[in-house]
A and B are shown apart, each in its own frame.
Chain A
Amino acid sequence: MKLDIYLEELKRELEKRNIAEKDDILQYFEEMITDREESGEEIDSILSSLGEPCDVINSLYGAEEKEESAETEKEDTSKRYSFADVRSIKIENVTYDFCFHEDDVDEVTVVFNDDKYTTLNVECDNGRLKIEQEYAFKGITALFSSLTRLFSDSDRNNMAGRYRAEIFLPRNARLDLKMETVSGETRFTDIGIGDLKMETVSGDLELNGCNFDDCSVDSVSGNIEVHDLIVDEKFDVESVSGDLEIDGIRCEKIEIDTVSGDAEILIDGPKDDYNVKISKVLKDISTQGKRHSYLKVNTVSGTITYNFTK
């Protein structure tokens, strides 16, 4: 009788939780309890050792859930690669957001989170590191991604949490980087690189506190944002409709071409013996001084604002 009451209560608990394998569980516990009774145990002692029916189910599914969560923890989808003596990096990217940092590492370290649809292939040959995104539907995805960004721009100011691939470079490595991206956004923060050649379709580019030997950026509709940039040689930017925001740049030569993108450019003031003369807003800026400097800006319909600070 006590067994029947216990099993009835167990059944109610299983039904309450809508557990599909209800009959299996009932049969299992009925068999277990009956076997223990047959072996001479008292029913009270058996039921007491099992606990209340709701606790039995909790421990049954708790055990499964704990095991499943342990399994989930084990299935960490992030991947990490490290390579020593890297002299150059080439990246062919579609949708991944990349973030570059300098860190106290001896090797170039690449960390990214894979997902169900995309994979980054990473290989290093003779100091040349190549990262390539495999993508079955490159065009469609790029288009979809661009559209999605158009309609969900709210997190643009909170980019830090959105990067799915991070590259850590050893300090002062100054290797060369060539990168192509379709819709993935790219951010460089406090980093020194030799030559940077960047091509983007719709992915935005952000350079913060960086230092390059040479820097060339081509963008179709991706916006380009630059803060505190030092380029030893030439900073060359071409954009179709991507906007340009350049705030604090020092370099020998700047060339900016845009078709319809707006451009706001703030250039660090000239040093002693250094003069800047602006002839016309939309034409060349001529300079004179001990150091030669060069700035050339072309636009078809974009608005350009210059601010020279002293």
Chain B
Amino acid sequence: MDIQLKRGSLDVCVLASLLNEDSYGYKIIQSLDGVLEISESTLYPILRRLESAGCLTSYSVEHNGRLRKFYSITETGRDKIKDYLLDFKELMQIYEYIAGEVKK
């Protein structure tokens, strides 16, 4: 897959995993299991990038005597998902046209 397309998709997938509830690193990887393969080393820079872009915020919660970092999606992050879906809709139209021409 094109690196830019893949990178954009990974970012949006991570954001989407936070749409319904705040989540933490391990759980994010678990929720994306079966959708795309993502390692701890891949997730860390994505979370940092999204946080510095204002797409998510983080806070720590005590869990079993240690701190667990939770991530929460922001309005900017939600807008990013909307933009991605719109872009992808256009991309799908292009895909259908190309696939149709290939079939002819």
Contact = CB atoms under 8 A, between A and B. Distances in A.
A70 to B, nearest CB: 5
Interface of B: 3-4, 7, 24-27, 39-42, 44-45, 48, 64, 66-69
Contact of A56 (B41, B45, B48): B41
Interface stretch (A34-42, A120-128, A196-204, A280-288): A34-42
Question: Main SS of the interface on chain A?
Answer: helix
Contact of B26 (A21, A25, A31): A31
A27 B41 contact: no
Contacts of A105: none
Given A39-B26, A70-B3, A31 B66 contact: yes
B3 A32 contact: no
B1 to A, nearest CB: 12
B26 A32 contact: yes
Nearest to B39: A59
Nearest to B64: A38
A59 B26 contact: no
Contacts of A29: 40
Nearest to A32: B40
25 contacts: A21-B48, A28-B25, A28-B69, A30-B66, A31-B26, A31-B67, A31-B69, A32-B26, A32-B40, A34-B66, A35-B25, A35-B26, A39-B26, A50-B40, A50-B41, A56-B41, A59-B39, A59-B41, A60-B45, A63-B42, A64-B45, A66-B3, A67-B3, A70-B3, A70-B4
Contact of A32 (B25, B64, B67): B25
A156 interface: no
Contact of B24 (A21, A35, A59): A35
Q: Which of B3, B7, B40 has the most CB of A within 10 A?
A: B40
Q: For this complex, into which size category does the number of interface residues on chain A fall?
A: 20 to 34
A310 interface: no
A41 B95 CA distance: 41
B11 to A, nearest CB: 10
A63 B67 contact: no
A70 B41 contact: no
Contacts of B4: 70, 74
B44 A60 contact: yes
Contacts of A25: 44
Contact of A31 (B7, B24, B41, B45): B24
A31 B42 contact: no
Q: Which of B7, B41, B45 has the most CB of A within 10 A?
A: B41
B96 to A, nearest CB: 26
Interface string A1-38: 00000000000000000000100110111111011101
Nearest to A34: B66
Contacts of A32: 25-26, 40
Given A36-B26, A39-B26, A70-B7, A31 B44 contact: no
Given A59-B41, A63-B42, A31 B25 contact: yes
A128 to B, nearest CB: 36
A70 B6 CA distance: 12
A27 B69 contact: yes
A67 B41 contact: no
A16 B95 CA distance: 48
Kindly list the 7 A-B residue pairs having the minimum CB-CB distance in the complex, ordered from nearest.
Answer: A35-B26, A59-B41, A64-B45, A70-B3, A60-B41, A32-B40, A32-B25
Contacts of B42: 63
